[in-house]
Amino acid sequence: MDREISAAQQARRKTKIYITGLIILVAIALGFIQFKNIVQPSIKRNAFRTSIAESGLIEATVPASGIITPEYEVTISSPVNARIEQVLFNAGEKVLTGQSILRLNKESSLLAFEKLNEEQHVNRNKINQLSLGLQKSLDELKTQYAIKEMKISSLETALSHEQSLLNIGGSTDENVKQARLTLKVAQMELTQIKNQINNQKAMMQADLKSLGYEINIREKDIKGISDKLKNASISSPGNGVITWVNNKIGSEINEGEELVRIADLSSFKVEASISDTYADEVKTGRTAIVRINKTDLRGNISNVQPAVENGTVKFSVSLSNKNSKLLRANLKADVFVITSYKEHTIRVKNGPAFNGSEEQKVFVLEGENAHSRKVKIGESNSDYIEIRSGIKAGESVIISDMQDFIHLQKVKIK
């Protein structure tokens, strides 16, 4: 037979259950804390890089690429149509002023020169023949003119004689009229001969002038080819190093075709290109940094090409130290165009930890732990990042990639 449990016993039983449950909860909590301590995320100290925040200058830059080229390079082209006969110097060799580099076979140009000379002799003969022919025609006209003058004089005498006879009744009006008409015709013929003489003189002058022009043109052509032939010995205009030479012996080359490039390797410049995304940042006069083997050389943008080609803008950088030992022709280099700079700002070295956002989390070392901090980023370049807020000078910042821990507030450092 069941007995009724008293209220006091029920209260004691409930208290016991509550105490047991509380003990279990405390044990679970202590176990969780202990487990958390055991499995707390950690990272080895040699697995990341750090940078001490400092106060200093930061230059904002945009990246570009460049090639080192000689500041002064001369291109020599063939002055005439010729054939390469001998190569005296090869690419990479030094040459002095006046030294011959190539010898050309000028046979075809010499033939053209001789042909022009022969044509000029023909033209000079033509002008002599024309002068003689025109002069002969002119002399004949002058003779006809003189004869006609004498005939007119005779006709004038005959007219006067007929007039006298008419006055004494020894002639008729018809004879006088006939004499007068004959005189008038002769006078008209004289005028015609005079006009022919003037026309002949004008024609002579025009023909001689035309031939004179042609002779002058040919004379200039002859002089031009003569000068080119004199310069056909391809020689160096100054001291330098041959950077390229057409060494195909026996090949035919045309007038104006490139033969040699000679550079002065005592000074260099940089030919650079940058994405058109940064086209507005590339301006003449702006400072640029050229990085070669982790060494920076500074210069200024001297020229910017106005046209965009294949999504890039090309520009030239004139270096402050043009003859640095680091400079080599055709050497590739990283170029950074400085767009702005700030002094006395907090900066840390650039690294994978920074993702380009204006606001992000980074880890700062505090004792044996790395604590997550939200920071604001300012200007940047390939070397430094500006920290606008969240980090003070002297603090050590992890600059390696910490993306695996970004959700944590703290990471233990082993």
- How far apart, in whole angstroms, are the C-alpha atoms of residue 251 and residue 237? 24
- How far apart, in whole angstroms, are the C-alpha atoms of residue 146 and residue 358? 110
Strand, coil or helix: 143 = helix
| CA angle at 14 for the pair 8 and 16, rounded to the nearest 5° | 105
Quick one: fold of 50-58+343-413?
2.40.420
Question: Which residue in 184, 115, 389, 163 sits closest to 192, CA to CA?
Answer: 184
CB 84 within 8 A of CB 260: no
414 residues of the chain, pLDDT tens digit each: 455 556 666 666 667 776 776 777 766 666 555 544 445 688 888 888 999 999 999 988 999 999 999 988 888 888 777 778 888 888 888 888 888 888 776 655 566 666 666 676 776 777 777 677 777 777 777 787 778 777 877 777 777 776 777 677 666 778 778 877 877 887 787 788 788 778 877 777 777 777 767 777 777 666 666 656 565 567 787 888 888 888 888 888 888 888 888 888 888 999 999 999 999 999 999 999 999 988 999 999 999 998 899 999 999 999 999 989 999 888 999 999 999 888 889 999 999 999 888 999 999 999 889 999 999 999 888 889 999 999 999 999 999 998 888 888 989 988
How many CB atoms are located within 10 Å of the residue 275 CB? 14
- Ranges in the chain annotated CATH 2.40.30.170: 63-73+265-341
Q: How many helices (H) and strands (E) does the chain have?
A: 3, 19
Cβ-count burial 373-395 (b if 16+ within 10 Å, e if not): bebebbbbbeebbbbeebbeeeb
- How far apart, in whole angstroms, are the C-alpha atoms of residue 163 and residue 176? 6
- Ranges in the chain annotated CATH 1.10.287: 80-234
Quick one: fold of 80-234?
Helix Hairpins (1.10.287)
Q: Specify the pairing of strand 410-413 against strand 42-43.
A: parallel
- Ranges in the chain annotated CATH 2.40.420: 50-58+343-413
How far from 294 is each of 340, 379, 383, CA to CA, in Å? 22, 21, 11
- How far apart, in whole angstroms, are the C-alpha atoms of residue 380 and residue 396? 18
Query: For residue 312, what is the DSSP state?
Result: E
Q: Which pLDDT does position 171 carry in this prediction?
A: 66
Rg, the chain, Cα only:
52
- How far apart, in whole angstroms, are the C-alpha atoms of residue 409 and residue 260? 66
Residue 362's identity, in one-letter code, is V
Query: For residue 276, what is the DSSP state?
Result: G
CATH of 63-73+265-341, one of 2.60.120.10, 1.20.200.10, 3.30.479.30, 2.40.30.170: 2.40.30.170
DSSP string, 202-234: HHHHHHHHHHHHHHHHHHHHHHHHHHHHHTTSE
DSSP string, 279-293: GGG--TT-EEEEEET
